[in-house]
Amino acid sequence: MLEIINIHWNEQSRSDVRQYASIITSANLIQHVSKPTHRDGNILDHILSCEDGDLFVDCEVHEKFITVHHYVLFTLNMSKPPRVRITKTFRNFESIDNAKFAECLQDRLYPLPETNDADILFEWYIETTQNVLDEIAPPEIRARTQRNQQHLYNEDVHSVRRLRRRAERKWRHAQLENDREEFAADNRLVNQSFIKAKKCYYSDKLADANNKTVFQVVIAEQPG
């Protein structure tokens, strides 16, 4: 679990810190961040994992920071799930020679079958046209990687992320304080947009849920 908690973990003598430490200990959790993550010298960013688990490997508090918090880099003992490969069949209609296609159709469609049954004639026409199309523009099969559906990624999030990326490039190029502040402001805007998108998404998902199904809805949305 990753979280910014307004508890100064470095001040172990405080009553709220002792109470918090007792809670996570009773839940068989460990707090791994041991260096200051705030520019005032306090540990506000927490990484919790099960005491008897092997998911967490290590973490490092980076010297650089955005806004008032340092980067916290961590390593987990887990592999990225493989992406699903899907196949798609298509035709290159732009490469069709219209004159040749018309000529082939004319050769194949005449003479007509000796029947007055409309269903038979229709099926014969479809099959003949399909065979000509397979010769002129044969179907091609290509495989591609299926991308995961980002339910919380909408147009609003996309637009503010573009603004943040633009501000980040400007700040990294000039290294000016006002550019860093602009980047930090855009970063907060992105976070707010994700929170808003998450609220809307889960509100829609849980609108028809009852006491029995609400937990199932939340679990079904978890990755992996």
The number of C-alpha atoms within 13 Å of 110 and in the hemisphere containing its C-beta is 6
pLDDT at 224 (0 to 100): 46
Nearest CA to 77 among 98, 54, 59? 54
Q: Which two tokens stand for residue 72?
A: 């916290």
- Residue 139's alpha-carbon distances to 54, 128, 129, 199, in angstroms, are 49, 16, 14, 44
Domain regions of the chain by residue span: 1-78, 85-144, 148-224
Surface-to-core class of residue 116, CB atoms within 10 Å of its CB (0-12 exposed, 13-18 middle, 19+ buried) = exposed
48-103 residue pLDDT tens: 888 887 888 888 888 776 678 888 888 888 877 788 888 889 888 888 889 999 99
Between 155-174 and 177-206, two packed helices, what is the crossing angle to 10 degrees?
160
Residue 86, H or E segment: strand 85-90
pLDDT at 221 (0 to 100): 58
Percent of the chain, pLDDT > 70? 88
* β-pair partners for 56: 76
DSSP for 151-212, written as a single string: TT--HHHHHHHHHHHHHHHHHHHH--HHHHHHHHHHHHHHHHHHHHHHHHHHHHHHTT--TT
Surface-to-core class of residue 124, CB atoms within 10 Å of its CB (0-12 exposed, 13-18 middle, 19+ buried) = middle
CB atoms < 10 A from the CB of 17, how many? 16
39-63 residue pLDDT tens: 888 888 888 888 887 888 888 888 7
pLDDT at 150 (0 to 100): 67
pLDDT band of residue 149 (cuts 50, 70, 90) is low
3-state secondary structure of 19: helix
| pTM (2 d.p.) | 0.40
